[in-house]
Amino acid sequence: MKYANILFDLDGTLTDPKTGITKSVQYALAKAGIAEPDLQKLLPFIGPPLQQSFIEYYGFTESQAWEAVSAYREYFKVTGIYENEQYAGIPELLTALRSQGRRLFVATSKPKVFADIVIRHFNLEPYFTAVYGSELDGTRADKAELIRYVMSEQQLDAGNTVMVGDRKHDIIGAQKNQLPSIAVGYGYGSTQELQDASPDYIFNTVNELHAGFP
């Protein structure tokens, strides 16, 4: 079927934020007295809410995690936010979807204030009806909560709306709101992670997504 409304994750789906996010995490860890020279080890931070990742991967308490998030933002808002690349083929995909009369939205766990900057930086604003993200205090960082908010704000029909993302959080968030989901394999979720989440569709490249978009 042709879904009329499409919710897009941002990091790992529309853009590749690897350098900026991992360097920002590295900076935050250093301020907490933890030296982490291997940026590859920090890739799991791309996608999920940051405070949860500091707790999960480094054993921080909740208060320590929020201190780390604050330190992360010191680097990210000045430098890391621009250490980002748009995936090849994204403008062409968005152009095609808009030409079909569909409405596109960004639904990201990244704070909206930062998501807006990224979308403007890559000149993507014309494609999207609205950009939704979390608040700086963590409100709506949970993907299911965020999707629920978007659906309510825009009065979207769950049967005619689909979520597109690269991590299990996107798929699970969609399922909790009775939405179909599309997993993309070119981002930061492993093949196993995405398969285990049971999305309705999996596309491994932007070109596959473009050619087969339901």
Q: Known catalytic residues?
A: 9
Burial label for 69, CB within 10 Å (0-12, 13-18, 19+), is buried
Tell me the torsion sign for CA atoms 60, 63, 67, 73: positive
Phi, psi (rounded to 5 degrees) for 111: -55, 140
Strands, sheet with 130-134, edge to edge from the N-terminal-most edge strand: 130-134, 103-111, 5-8, 161-165, 181-184, 201-203
183 to each of 23, 32, 46, 148, 191, how far by Cα in Å?
A: 26, 34, 15, 19, 10
Q: How far is CA 61 from the centre of its chain?
A: 24
